[in-house]
Amino acid sequence: MRIATIGSGFSGLMASAVLSRHGHDVTIYEKNVYYGGRASSFSSDGFHFDKGPSWYWMPDIFEEAMQRLGSSTGEYYELKKLDPGFRVYFGEKDYIDIPAQFDELKAVFESIEPGAADRLDRFMEEAEVKYHLGVKQMAKFPSLSILEFVRIKVLRAALQMDLFKSVAKQVRSYFKNNRIQKIMEFPVLFLGASANKIPALYTMMNFAGLKQGTYYPSGGFKNVVNGFIEAARSNGVTFVPNAEVSGFNIHNNSINEVMFANGRISACDVVVGAADYAHVEKLLPPNKRNYSEEYWAKRTMAPSSLLFFVGVNKKLETLEHHNLFFHSDFDAHISEIYEHPKWPSDPLFYVCCPSKTDDTVAPSGSENLFFLMPIAPELNDTVAIRELYFEKLIKSFERITGLHISNNIVFHRSYCIKDFVSEYHALRGNAYGLANTLNQTAILKPTIRNKRIKNLFYTGQLTVPGPGVPPALLSGELVADYILNNYKMAKSI
Ligand SMILES: Cc1cc2nc3c(=O)[nH]c(=O)nc-3n(C[C@H](O)[C@H](O)[C@H](O)COP(=O)(O)OP(=O)(O)OC[C@H]3O[C@@H](n4cnc5c(N)ncnc54)[C@H](O)[C@@H]3O)c2cc1C
């Protein structure tokens, strides 16, 4: 079968590699001249910047994905467990480091709130169960029907997952201290929605981030992308860059040709839409789409981001690799993202400094900094606003860390909503797809199969299981398996 995949992000890479491994003739068409989508990277002035993911969580998912492709992550990069995993700043030189060892983390919690160590143990026991059920079992369901969840074991498990309780409620039932609450709620803040809106099922992220730990792939996410590209190539996938899909020829409710913006046309038997779901839908005539414009307008998006890639010509000895700046009013910023979307008045933000761990990403004696400020999607994105926030963030960074960098900045580039739209056709300028709210989970997410076109399937962060690199890999794998089963074409490997 000739399979055309639209987009070379992690979901497209994984879906294509699995399908090709099963003997199909798979080609990935990518609109940009480079691959990796939101996880792509760039080099300038001796610095190498990853443009998207920096937190390598759930190493088991990456490894299982590579093994499915007959390879191993170790062939492409080495993993280093970061210690501390990350630092959380609460004010000027006032921070908590999150140790890599769980026993040490318990001691930190106990020193803040008596009894919190035992409660953290209990919280993590539950979170670990959720991780295994959620990530290892349910995330592999195509989520096309509630019947998939009806097997007794799975249903029982689903009920154990506190689907109707929020992460905030769950965290607050264990911990009273505001700092501990912020540490426990941060994973869902950056990747979904306010902790009040996210089902407690997602405390599995706490297990991933705080118990499994935070890893760094040598060379950064660039090497993770390259690893999956190589694994896909060695399984027979063909890559075509600079190939923007602009439409389809549809005959008898099947796509038989993919059309490109440059006028080229290519024949195919199956299409995997691995670009933003809503964009792939727009390539179809309205009567062949799964969802209307109104449907997409009503979805709750995960935040977009204002990013700054910054090169500094001095070493910042006291900074950590991952630094969260939770100095300002958490609730006010969250409300400015979700409830009353506007540019934040006193933003919290995140700074990654991969050159602390990896001397290949910055010239000697320099640091590579990646600033991320979560914002509501669809805000008015102008050069003037970006520069205003650049100054704001640098000032806050200097004040809180006591590290002065304004006179040492030798490179800086911004990235925001307009770039997400122009580079990836991102719906409403989103960075991380749809929020994982209860009514956007599992069968309530946009479905992986087009209901009117027999040979069009969707994968990626806007469908199941959701945003993040491990979910994108799982999404690619599950759509590939669905296609193989649907066409009864799986060969035993
Ligand atoms: C700033 C940022 C930080 C993040 N941090 C983390 C993190 O620390 N850890 C983590 O796990 N996840 C993180 N994520 C999320 C993670 O990067 C994504 O969930 C994941 O990479 C999405 O993969 P995807 O395959 O769904 O989509 P994408 O990576 O967006 O891939 C879609 C591809 O389709 C291409 N395309 C679009 N339209 C067309 C067309 N018409 N024709 C051909 N090609 C087309 C695009 O160019 C793109 O290459 C982050 C994301 C961002 C943006």
Domains of the chain (ranges, CATH numbers): 2-78+219-298+437-486 (3.50.50.60), 102-206 (1.10.405), 300-424 (3.30.519)
* 414 vs 491, residue with greater confidence: 414
In order of 70, 138, 470, 473, the CA distances from 65 in angstroms are 9, 16, 9, 7
- End-to-end CA distance of the chain, in Å? 18
Cβ within 8 Å of residue 88, ≥6 positions away: 95, 96, 98, 179, 182, 183, 186, 324, 326
What is the mean predicted confidence (pLDDT) over 22-42? 98
Q: What is the pLDDT of residues 424-480, one digit of tens each?
A: 999 999 999 998 888 888 888 999 999 999 999 999 999 999 899 999 999 999 999
- Cα 306–chain centre separation: 15
Give, for 349, the enclosing helix (H) or strand (E). strand 349-352
Burial of 198 (0-12, 13-18, 19+ CB in 10 A): buried
Confidence of residue 484 (pLDDT cuts 50, 70, 90): very high
The amino acid present at 176, given as its one-letter code, is K
Question: Measured between alpha carbons, how far is 320 from 322 in angstroms, rounded to an integer?
Answer: 6
CA-CA distance, 3 to 9, in Å (whole number)?
A: 16
Ligand 1 midpoint to CA 176 (Å): 36
Averaged pLDDT, 127-133:
90
Count, residues in the chain: 493
194 three-class SS = coil
H or E element in which residue 12 lies:
helix 10-21
Maximum alpha-carbon separation in the chain: 67
Pocket of ligand 1 (CB under 6 A): 6-12, 29-32, 37-39, 52-55, 244-245, 274-275, 279, 305, 307, 372, 424-425, 431-432, 460-461, 467-469, 472
- CA 278 / ligand 1 centre spacing (Å): 14
The reported pLDDT for the residue numbered 187 is 79
Instruction: Give the number of other CB atoms < 10 A from CB of residue 315.
Output: 16
**Cα-to-centroid distance, 235 and ligand 1 (Å):** 22
* CB 439 within 8 Å of CB 423: no
How large a percentage of the chain has pLDDT more than 90? 82
Helices (DSSP H) in 235-382: which residue ranges? 277-282, 293-298, 330-337
251 CA distance to ligand 1 centroid (A)? Answer: 30
Give pLDDT tens digits for 294-347. 999 999 898 999 999 999 999 999 999 999 999 988 889 988 998 899 999 999
Global pTM?
A: 0.97
pLDDT of 177 reads 97
pLDDT at 160: 66
Ligand 1 atom nearest 461 alpha carbon: 26
Helix (H) or strand (E) holding 27: strand 25-29
Strands of the sheet containing 238-240, edge to edge, are 238-240, 25-29, 2-6, 270-273, 456-458
pLDDT above 60: residue 152? no
Cα 166 to the chain's mean position, in Å? 21
For the sheet containing 265-267, what is the strand order?
A: 245-251, 254-260, 265-267
SS3 assignment, position 272: strand
Strands, E, within 262-340: which ranges? Answer: 265-267, 270-273, 304-312, 322-325
| Residue 329, pLDDT score | 87
